[in-house]
Amino acid sequence: MALAAFLYPHRIAPLLPPFPYPRRRRRVLFPLAVVRATAEVRQREAVREARNGAAVVWFKRDLRTDDHPGLVAAVSQHQTVVPLYVFDRRILSNFSDEMLKLLLLALEDLKQLLKDQGSDLLVAFGSAEDVIRKLVNEVKASYIFAEEEVEYNSRSVMSLVKSSVSSVSFAWGSPEFVFWRTPFYNVENLEELPASYRDFLQLQLSQTIPVAAPTLPVLEMEVDRGALPTFDDIKMYLLGEPCQSDNCWTSLKKVSAETILRKEGISQAVMKSDPSESLKSNEGKNIISSTLNNVKSTKIAKSVFASGEGTQVGGGTNNALNALAAYLRYLEGTARDDWQELHEKLRKAECRKGASFGALFGSALYLGTISRRRVYYEAIKYERERNAGYVSPFGYSTPTVAAAVDAVHSMEWYWLLALKCQKCNEGIYPIRIWSWNGYLIQYTAVGHEGPAVLFVHGFGAFLEHFRDNISSIADGGRRVWAITLLGFGKSEKPNILYTKLMWAELLRDFIIDVVGEPVHLVGNSIGGYFVSIVAGLWPALARSLVLLNTAGSIVPSYSSIPLVEEGQTSGLAWLQARLLLLYLRLRAGSILKKCYPTNAERADDGLIGDILRASYDPGVPIILESILNFDLSIPLNYLFDSFGGKILVVQGMKDPLSKSKLFLSMLREHCIRVTVSELDAGHCPHDELPVEVNSILSEWTSTAESCTNAIKGAKSF
């Protein structure tokens, strides 16, 4: 049988017992259509669940329903949409009184617009994380929509909100956050965004169009909707913030540099001992708006402005669109009173070509009552109307269209740069964004303890010029801030008049709003002149003053302080600025190396490349126009006397841009309280000889702190 089994296995197999192999399961194959149908069912169920859950739309600086992608998404996906605005001290504390009033007008318009549709704008006070966490629980929200931010303060608040909500276990699951943008360009990957604006333009990215305002569902939920406060209510609320409890400190922002310099009879001793005394005899106007806010008239009916004397367009989206229509049609003339009023203020605000757009619409864009791409869309639509549907590649047919388009293009570029810096963190130091007067300013903060130090760069530079100083000083037990001034580096370069007093006020506000305490001011070149003005006009802000090859001059026996009006730029300045820019681009490397005579290799390709990158940013020719009209008429010795504190001058004796020996001779003769340190370096000693300068700065700040503490101890005794 064994042989038979070997020869005829198929015949013997039925006689053998079953082999113990596991039986194969039959594979069931579902048709592809069934799989797709199942996926579609699950997707519909997810959509149904989302629609059943409420969506909270958190308004911040997007106070509109027009061109609001977040609101459109919420309405399309949810049956219940809960609009919310939170008065959070951390977000509002830096708002000027004028901005707070404009905010209230915008919120009033938005709330009424939503109520007309059967919805409403919920208004709450307190920390955003507490308010939103409680609201999510109350309305059983499954989604929270909020516009993505670039400002460090706002991003920090948003992060706290997300952490607070995520830490709670809700019965229906954790709400999902949707951070939306209003994309001007189709930028798919921020990491691939070119650093140069010239390279960015070569991409020829398509521009998106605005989305229409959605119709909101009726808000039927029984929730506390809150009421809009008055201006006085907000001021009282903000005064409850600990950092604003010192009225003397915050009141410094109310006194413009121009007011202090023009005011005669104010004792500098009084300014040093009690800065708030100066408030009793001045109105504290802002230098930036001093040339604009001189329109004295009563507010006309249906005015687009918040007040008769103001220059900022107020109200909501419809008001902003009406104002934009009037602005674009300036050359046509009009019989309408409200448009005539805008045209009059346009003329007064046009301190240089195109500057009127930012002066009139800056606040509306900052508060988000109108979007940047809506401005662009309306401007191009009007241009087509004027030219039978044609837009010339050689320029726009009216200066107002050009001003509007250039402004929003510039704003979008700097917003993208700021967002990329926040998300990609490509630099040697973590970059933060601070908004000053609606403009985006880059800065960094390093260190966790010790006295505060602020680095301020010179002309054409940026905070990274202190690349080998920041960490070294911070490691020595200090908290270090470095700022890129408005108009330089990757900070915004708006179409405004740039003056020494404007930059000084920016630094004043940065110290008060961001640092929050007096600092050791360290400035190079023109930055040294700016920090000297800050110390001289607001001595309470400076612990000491350090000047690295500073700009400015010593005027023996000065009898008065000349204050030259830095007004409109000329056509000659326009031409000179563009020729200078071309020259600087061609010779940047050689010019920079001459400023580093002892250590020329420090003027490396990275530094030169960053300077060249910035030279192609929108707005650079405008800064050069202002620089050509720049005046350094306030004597350094006047500022030193006004400050009255400890001053160190570090001078690179091989500086090709100044006569170092003559300057130090004048300094020693007329400023006897100033300490001088000479170095074998050029115009940028901090970057050419960073080890030596860091040692000097560390020793200086330690000595200054010891003296300050000794004085405080003596006073308390």
**Looking at the predicted structure, is the pLDDT value of residue 2 above 60?**
no
Instruction: Look at 709 and 270; give whichever has higher pLDDT.
Output: 709
Of 351, 329, 349, the closest CA to residue 340 belongs to 329
The whole-angstrom separation of Cα 90 and Cα 324 is: 31
Q: State mean pLDDT over 24-33.
A: 50
> What is the rounded CA–CA span in Å between residue 489 and residue 621?
14
DSSP 476: T
Residues in CB range of 361: below 8 A, 6 or more apart: 312, 313, 320, 323, 324, 327, 370, 375, 404, 407
Is the CB of residue 35 less than 8 Å from the CB of residue 43? no
Answer with the residue of higher pLDDT: 53 or 16: 53
Q: Check if the beta carbon of residue 373 is closer than 8 Å to that of residue 67.
A: yes
The confidence score (pLDDT) of residue 499 equals: 92
The Cα 93–Cα 694 span in angstroms is 35
Q: What is the DSSP letter of 511?
A: I
Q: Residue 647, SS3? A: strand
Cβ pair 143, 178 in contact under 8 A: yes
Helix (H) or strand (E) holding 581: helix 571-594
Q: What is the pLDDT of residue 243?
A: 46
Over residues 398-409, the pLDDT tens digits come to 999 999 999 999
Q: Quick one: which of 658, 584, 662, 593 has its CA closest to 623?
A: 584
Residues 405 and 502 in one domain: no
Strand partners, 481: 445, 454
Q: How many CB atoms lie within 10 A of CB 188?
A: 9
The DSSP 8-state label assigned to residue 203 in this structure reads: T
445 has a pLDDT exceeding 80: yes
Q: What would the two tokens of residue 382 be? A: 């009007």
Question: Which has the higher per-residue pLDDT, 86 or 24?
Answer: 86
DSSP 519-542: EEEEEETHHHHHHHHHHHH-GGGE
Rounded Cα–Cα distance for residues 78 and 56 (Å): 10
Region 341-347: mean pLDDT is: 95
Q: Distance between CA 302 and CA 640 in Å, rounded?
A: 51
Same domain, 94 and 164: yes
Does 126 fall in a domain? yes
Q: Is 277 part of a structural domain of the chain? A: no
pLDDT, greater one: 293 or 200: 200
Number of CB atoms found within 10 A of residue 193's CB? 18
Contact between residue 419 and residue 190 where contact means Cβ atoms under 8 Å apart: yes
DSSP state of 207: B
User: Could you tell me the two tokens for 355?
Assistant: 């500057």
Coil, strand or helix: which one is 33? helix
Alpha carbon 189 to chain centroid, angstroms: 21
- Percent of the chain past pLDDT 90, that is, above it, reads 70
Is 307 part of a structural domain of the chain? yes
Q: Are residues 630 and 557 in the same domain?
A: yes
Distance, in Å, from the CA atom of 615 to the CA atom of 310, rounded to the nearest integer, reads: 34
Most confident of 91-100, 657-666, 699-708: 657-666
**pLDDT of 676-693, one tens digit each?**
999 999 999 999 999 999
Give the least confident one: 54-63, 166-175, 557-566: 557-566
Helix (H) or strand (E) holding 543: strand 542-548
Mean pLDDT of 116-132: 96
Percent of the chain predicted with pLDDT > 70: 84
Q: Are residues 609 and 540 in the same domain?
A: yes
Is there a domain that residue 290 lies in? no
The mean pLDDT value for 286-300 works out to: 45
Tell me which of 93 and 140 has the higher pLDDT: 140
Strand duo 479-483 + 452-456: pairing: parallel
Query: What residues does 652 pair with on adjacent strands?
Result: 679
562, part of any domain: yes
Counting the structural domains of the chain, the total is 3
Residue ranges of E strands in 572-670? 647-652
Contact 56, 115 (CB under 8 A): no
688 in any annotated domain = yes
* Same domain, residue pair 570 and 613: yes
Residues 645-661: tens digit of each pLDDT? 999 999 999 999 999 99
Residue 292's pLDDT is 38
3-state secondary structure 69-82: HHHHHHHHHCCCEE
Q: Are residues 649 and 665 in the same domain?
A: yes
Domain CATH code at residue 637: 3.40.50.1820
Question: 362 Cβ partners below 8 Å, 6+ apart?
Answer: 312, 437, 438
Per the rule left: phi > 0, alpha: psi between -120 and 50, beta: everything else, 315 is left
Say which residue, 222 or 301, is predicted with more confidence. Answer: 222
436 in the same domain as 419? no
**Contact between 677 and 693 (Cβ < 8 Å):** no
306 and 400 together in one domain: yes
Domain that includes residue 203, residue range: 37-219
Q: How far apart are CA 620 and CA 160, in angstroms?
A: 37
Is residue 433 domain-shared with residue 401, that is, in the same domain?
A: no
Q: How far is CA 707 from CA 548, 645, 648, 703, 715, in A?
A: 22, 11, 14, 6, 12
pTM: 0.87
Q: Are residues 440 and 377 in the same domain?
A: no
- Which residues, at least 6 apart from 397, have a Cβ–Cβ distance to it below 8 Å? 383, 386, 387
| Cα–Cα separations (whole angstroms), residue 42 to 47, 74, 76, 191, 436 | 9, 20, 18, 34, 48
Give the pLDDT band (50/70/90) at residue 53.
confident
Alpha carbon separation from 245 to 250, 251, 412 (Å, rounded): 8, 11, 36
Average pLDDT, the chain: 86
Cβ neighbors of 673 (< 8 A, separation 6 or more) are 640, 647
Instruction: Categorize the per-residue pLDDT at 564 as very low, low, confident or very high, splitting at 50, 70 and 90.
Output: low
Q: pLDDT, tens digit, for every residue of 613-649?
A: 999 999 999 999 888 888 888 999 999 999 999 999 9
Sheet (strand 519-524) strand order:
432-436, 439-446, 479-483, 452-456, 519-524, 542-548, 647-652, 674-679
Does the residue 196 lie in any domain?
Answer: yes
* Domain-terminating residue out of 187, 219, 251: 219
CATH number where 190 lies: 3.40.50.620
Q: What's the order of all strands across the beta sheet hosting 141-147?
A: 122-125, 81-87, 54-59, 141-147, 176-180
DSSP state of 367: H
Q: Give the residue from 546, 532, 556 showing the smallest Cα distance to 643.
A: 532
| The domain boundary residue, chosen from 194, 219, 244 | 219
- For residue 124, list its beta bridge partners: 86
- The confidence score (pLDDT) of residue 280 equals 39
CA dist 308 → 298, 349, 640 (Å): 5, 15, 41
**411 plus 528 within the same structural domain:** no
Residue 26 predicted with pLDDT over 70: no
Task: Give the model confidence (pLDDT) of 484-537 as tens digits.
Answer: 999 999 999 999 999 999 999 999 999 999 999 999 999 999 999 999 999 999
Residue range 700-713: mean pLDDT, rounded = 76
Nearest residue to 618 via CA among 570, 580, 581, 566: 581
Same domain, yes or no: 596 and 704: yes
Residue 146 contacts residue 352 (beta carbons within 8 Å): no
Is the pLDDT reported for residue 69 higher than 50? yes
Residues whose CB falls within 8 Å of the CB of residue 662, separated by 6 or more in sequence, listed in order? none
204, 219, 234 - which closes a domain? 219
Structure tokens at 30: 């579902």
Pair 573, 427: CB distance under 8 Å: no
The stretches of 629-689 forming alpha helices (DSSP H) are 636-643, 660-670, 685-688
Residue 247 lies in a domain: no
Type of residue at 75: V
Q: Write out the two tokens for 25.
A: 């399961």
Residues 6+ apart with CB under 8 A from 196: 613, 616
Mutual orientation of helices 97-116 and 317-328 as an angle, nearest 10°? Answer: 110
> Of the candidates 428, 569, 445, 365, which has an alpha carbon nearest to the alpha carbon of residue 152?
445
Supply the angle between the helices 355-367 and 337-349 in degrees, to the nearest 10.
110
* pLDDT computed for residue 37 by the predictor: 53
